[in-house]
Structure 1
Amino acid sequence: MSAFRSGGNVHVNGIRLHYLLYGQPRAGRDPVIILPGITSPAVTWGFVGERFGREFETYVLDIRGRGLSESGSSLDYSLDAQAADLAGLAAALKLSRYSVVGHSMGARIAVRAARMGLPGLARLVLVDPPVSGPGRRSYPARLDWYVDSIRLASRGCDAEAMRAFCPTWTDDQLRLRAEWLHTCDERAVRESFDGFHTDDVHADLGGICVPVRLIAAGRGDVVRDDDISEIQRLVPGASTTRVTDAGHMIPWDDEEGFYAAFEAFLGARLDAATSKEKEHVSQRS
């Protein structure tokens, strides 16, 4: 049975923001807001929303300039504007207490928003956040990878054409990306990518006052061991883990490993059903 409840729009900071809602309110469990990455409309995180929705009321946001949220030639795509959107979304939804899970760009948005002040923020999960910034090594992905694939999708393409950009993805994942990638505004992506190198999120980390969990990919070069050590120094008490068999797009590469990496940080295990199934098999064997 699907955990999907509805899509919705709110008017925040002068623009329309769209979100997808999964799951029902659970007593004793905070709602969760998921912030996807630089070219990931909310619908592409639907499979994650479904799993989260089993345990939490879950909102997956279309970041401005992506999906069904507003875009435009004069829209502000800065990190500060995106962070203000998160605060505005939580206020518009009347969430008095909630957790945030940010992947890649979404993690940087969450860090900036937490530093700026997020009333009601209970916990923060940073999933393979780009650690680039002023005076730091560049983000390992290339801008043309994003731009070329967006332009291809904007002309219309099928899953097979998208495979050149995401060779390890399943046919279903490729079909969804081919269908929705055109909704990512090219200027929004360019400005966010530039921001990976000009925004100093490390200066924001010390201002976070809620429990933090860092989930890093086991493959790729986005978050290295020394980056983890630095984040732990800047955010004392932050818990960390790696998903060994995954690259930057962790839930696409190792979905079950991604859920297991949360453990009970959010208040309930996302892999609880899998664990119970394993326990049942063990008792029978």
Structure 2
Amino acid sequence: MPECLVNGVRLHYEEHGQRQEGRAPILCIHGMSSSGLVWGPSVAKVAALGRTIVYDRRGCTRSERPEPYTTSIAQQADDAAALLRALDASPAVVIGRSYGGEVALALALRHPETVRALVLLEAGLVNLVPEAKAWADGVLARVLAAAEREPSDAAKALVHEILGEGGWEKLPAPLQSMFTGNSPAVVAEMRGGFLEAEPEELAKLGIPVLLVASAESPPAFRQVVAAMGAAIPNARTALVPGGHLIDLAEPAVLELVATAIQGTSTQAPNR
């Protein structure tokens, strides 16, 4: 099982696809409560474009979870930067979903030399939209309250908030088990706080950025995507069907990645 010692923590990672001269690698960063396993067969579709790295963030599933466990977006972004450097995979086209999208954005802001392009699947930069921030604060309070009552319920409570009534029950049993096992990571990540970045910081991003929102997710995500799209000069947006667990292999994502790994600035069109 491939592991890499990063900032004092062992991270599990996998490599798919082939290294190709002149093409940037692709790094996939999963969201809260999950792991690299959550991407499923979609990894193969991305890896058909080139070298693709998926990993479990610190505290999640197959990677090390220090005890006592605390973390932050900044720490997670620094881990991603160190992993890219250790694997000689920088700069990369970075895809992040939800909390993983916040990590990907923080990576680009903190370590710009490691990122060639960004694909953010409903990254929750909620400080840009007061209504979204109020909603996210409510989610945080309810999930932490559930964890106080029963620590292993943190992930289930989070899924209920994000996917809605019946969302947990629709998940396959292996996903439910993985999410439940990551409940301590959910608590640590929520206590570590959301990413905050001002429009002035986002305006300095000089790389291609694709912002993807889902038509069936809570409205806060679409509000945030719109605000981020207005702030980032090179951003394009795409609205896709389905809920928050946006497919890694959405056509808009594959289109952006296919051009960005070659170092061109062509991006997926607005949809």
TM-score band (shorter)?
0.7 to 0.9
Q: Does 1:248 align with 2:244?
A: yes
Equivalents in 2 of 1:20, 1:126: separation in Å? 21
Aligned pairs, how many?
Answer: 243
How far residue 182 of structure 1 moved from its aligned partner, in angstroms, is 4.4
How far residue 206 of structure 1 moved from its aligned partner, in angstroms, is 3.4
Equivalents in 2 of 1:113, 1:103: separation in Å? 14
Give the AA of the match of 1:143. Answer: V
Equivalents in 2 of 1:54, 1:65: separation in Å? 29
SS of the residue corresponding to residue 123 of structure 2 reads: coil
Shift of the 185–219 alpha-carbon distance from structure 1 to 2, 3 Å rule, reads closer
- Report the counterpart of residue 138 of structure 1 in structure 2: 135
- Report the counterpart of residue 261 of structure 1 in structure 2: 252
Deviation per CA, 1:153-175, whole angstroms, max 9, x where unpaired? 99xxxxxxxx9552344xxxx13
SS of the residue corresponding to residue 119 of structure 1 reads: helix
- Report the counterpart of residue 173 of structure 2 in structure 1: 175
How far residue 35 of structure 1 moved from its aligned partner, in angstroms, is 0.4
- Report the counterpart of residue 275 of structure 1 in structure 2: none
Larger radius of gyration: 1
TM-score, normalization by structure 2: 0.77
- Report the counterpart of residue 206 of structure 1 in structure 2: 203
Higher share of residues assigned helix: 2
Q: Does 1:63 align with 2:57?
A: yes
Shift of the 55–150 alpha-carbon distance from structure 1 to 2, 3 Å rule, reads farther
- Report the counterpart of residue 151 of structure 1 in structure 2: 152
**Preserved contact between residue 46 and residue 254 of structure 2 (Cα < 8 Å):** no
* Among candidates 98, 121, 125, match of residue 119 of structure 2: 125
Shift of the 240–190 alpha-carbon distance from structure 1 to 2, 3 Å rule, reads same
**Preserved contact between residue 93 and residue 115 of structure 2 (Cα < 8 Å):** yes
How far residue 83 of structure 1 moved from its aligned partner, in angstroms, is 0.8
SS of the residue corresponding to residue 166 of structure 1 reads: helix
How far residue 37 of structure 1 moved from its aligned partner, in angstroms, is 0.5
Shift of the 201–190 alpha-carbon distance from structure 1 to 2, 3 Å rule, reads farther
Structure scoring higher RCO (CA < 8 A, sep ≥ 6) equals 2
Equivalents in 2 of 1:207, 1:76: separation in Å? 30
In structure 1, list runs of 5 or more residues that go unmatched.
1-6, 155-162, 270-285
TM-score, normalization by structure 1: 0.74
Equivalents in 2 of 1:196, 1:129: separation in Å? 14
How far residue 64 of structure 1 moved from its aligned partner, in angstroms, is 0.7
How far residue 133 of structure 1 moved from its aligned partner, in angstroms, is 3.6
- Report the counterpart of residue 16 of structure 2 in structure 1: 22
**Preserved contact between residue 41 and residue 63 of structure 1 (Cα < 8 Å):** yes
In structure 2, list runs of 5 or more residues that go unmatched.
156-164, 261-271
Root mean square deviation of aligned Cα? 3.0
Shift of the 206–182 alpha-carbon distance from structure 1 to 2, 3 Å rule, reads same
Equivalents in 1 of 2:154, 2:110: separation in Å? 35
SS of the residue corresponding to residue 71 of structure 2 reads: coil
**Preserved contact between residue 97 and residue 122 of structure 2 (Cα < 8 Å):** yes
